[in-house]
Each structure stands twice: as C-alpha cells, then as structure tokens.
Amino acid sequence: MNASVTDLRYKMHDILKALDRNEKVTLYCRGKAKGVLSPMLPQKGLKRSSFSKTIRT
C-alpha cells in the first residue's frame, strides 16, 4: 500500500487495517518515498504489562 503524509492524517484507520493484513505501507512526502511501515512480528511470551515495563526501563 502507498500512503502520503495527508493519508496518515485523514486515513489512519485504512493504514492500520493494511498493517493488520500484513501489508507494508510506503510513505510518500511530495511524491518522494520517505519510509516504510511494516507490521510487527508477534512476540511469544511477551504480555502487554511486561512490554510496557520494557519500554520504560
């Protein structure tokens, strides 16, 4: 999927759905590719509470 900076603002729901379908999203700014969003790989045994502790430390 391709998305512009404006799409990030107004169509974030559609972009998140694409990530849920394991699609990569290429981000464009003024017609030039700037980056790629890709879905996260599932991490086994990592609960939400332990994830937040990992980020804060």
Please say whether the beta carbons of 1 and 23 come within 8 A.
Answer: yes
Hey, what domains does the chain have and what are their CATH numbers? Answer: 2-56 (3.40.1620)
What is the mean pLDDT, run by run of 10 residues, along the chain of 57 residues? Answer: 93 94 95 94 65 61
User: Which pLDDT does position 42 carry in this prediction?
Assistant: 74
Question: How wide is the angle at C-alpha 22 spanned by C-alphas 41 and 48, nearest 5°?
Answer: 40
Q: Please answer whether residues 8 and 1 qualify as being in contact, where contact means their C-beta atoms are separated by less than 8 angstroms.
A: no
Q: Of 12, 57, 56, 55, whose CA–CA distance to 37 is shortest?
A: 12
Q: What pLDDT does residue 27 have?
A: 96
0.85 cut: is pTM over it? no
